Amino acid sequence: MAGSETRYTLARPTFDKPVKLLIVVAPYYKDIADDLVAGARAEIEACGATCDLVEVPGALEVATAIGIADRRSNFDGYVALGCVIRGETTHYDTVCNDSSRALQLLGLQGLCIGNGILTVENREQAVVRADPGAMNKGGGAAAAALHLVALARKWGGQRRGIGFRPASEDIILAGDSNGPDRA
């Protein structure tokens, strides 16, 4: 049983400047979501950080809310919380895969996200994983986000020339006398 294994846990990160996270939760299973949020808040507070909380209708909307918040607000990182329990149809697979994929894509764009969306076979598994006194997956997701914020701060801000350039920037550079590749 996975619950009886010993796991290594990283030490909590420390920060010299304030950290603010956004917890985005899909409270479809309200009691499970409440436990996930409680675990996440406790971990965030233990690191001396602060957080805001927003609820969305379901797991598929969590990544969209994080993307909107990143473009329009000033959070250092994000905690994605929710629960998807297998049902009788393939909808479970779609929700699990697509919500996870969307969060991963945002992370690869540089957002500091801890994924605490539970994907379980039954309610009993969800209860144990959400419980702050048991597996505490909400706390684990918050810890992941905090560790990523610490890494982002350690490595500094984004440097010019990393990643893709918007098409409008290519057009400007194409008219430059140095040519598009020698900006």
Residue 46 CB partners (closer than 8 Å, separation 6+): 12
Of 91, 97, 123, 163, the catalytic one is: 91
CA distance 16 to 43: 17
For the CA atoms of 135, 12, 51, 78, the dihedral, rounded to the nearest 10 degrees, stands at -70
Residue 91 annotated among the catalytic residues of the structure: yes
2 alpha-carbon distance from chain centroid: 23
The catalytic site residues sit at 91
